[in-house]
Chain A
Amino acid sequence: GDSVTQMEGPVTLSEEAFLTINCTYTATGYPSLFWYVQYPGEGLQLLLKATKADDKGSNKGFEATYRKETTSFHLEKGSVQVSDSAVYFCALSTRGNNRLAFGKGNQVVVIP
């Protein structure tokens, strides 16, 4: 079945550092890929998405490129802020399947 794998463990980094969160997927067909962000005490918000190979999603300084050859959708930001501290979830859906498959999420803590 469809699945998403995120790197293990929380990520702690200093303000203005470069952030990468790895996401790989297994899917039948041609999935759409998403990154969601969850700030403390809140629900999940859509951060960015890409619907076909080589598409780049971007929002709030975050970017992710849909790489079909490596089945990956890694999230990157060039210079993080304390306000980026949150949990980040990678997810996918395939055409005709209304369910999203989520990764386990990564806690990101940005230290001033």
Chain B
Amino acid sequence: DVKVTQSSRYLVKRTGEKVFLECVQDMDHENMFWYRQDPGLGLRLIYFSYDVKMKEKGDIPEGYSVSREKKERFSLILESASTNQTSMYLCASSLQEYGYTFGSGTRLTVV
């Protein structure tokens, strides 16, 4: 069974901390994505990557960065966490345009 694994289901961090959210897929997919999900706002794309060491800004990249050193791993970095980054973070991967496989999500709380 194909999988996208996010390293943490729940995370609590302090304001100003540097936060790493990890995502690993075992499907040899080219494309990987990071979204945040907030009530009433749906899914918003933060960053995505089409290949190793490549990254593209999504719709709301401010305050975030990403790293893709290996094909299977795509990390989201909050450089200095703020309370408005409290959210559900979803990672996904895909092969061309055949739809996404999502991870279970990380619920991040910044206090």
Contacts and interface: CB of A to CB of B under 8 A. Distances in A.
B103 A43 contact: yes
Nearest to A105: B42
Interface stretch (A17-25, A62-70, A78-86, A95-103): A95-103
Interface stretch (B12-20, B64-72, B73-81, B93-101): B93-101
Nearest to A100: B100
Contacts of A49: 99
A45 B96 CA distance: 18
A5 B103 CA distance: 24
B25 interface: no
Secondary structure of the A side of the interface? loop
A73 interface: no
A43 B104 contact: yes
Contacts of B90: 43-44
A97 B33 CA distance: 13
Interface residues of A, number: 23
A74 interface: no
Task: Specify which of A42, A43, A49, A100 lies most central, judged by the most chain B CB atoms within 10 Å of its CB.
Answer: A43
A42 B105 contact: yes
Contacts of A99: 33, 45, 48
B107 to A, nearest CB: 8
Contacts of B31: 98
B41 to A, nearest CB: 8
A46 interface: yes
B43 interface: yes
B105 A102 contact: no
B68 to A, nearest CB: 14
A34 B101 CA distance: 12
5 contacts: A45-B102, A94-B97, A98-B50, A99-B33, A100-B94
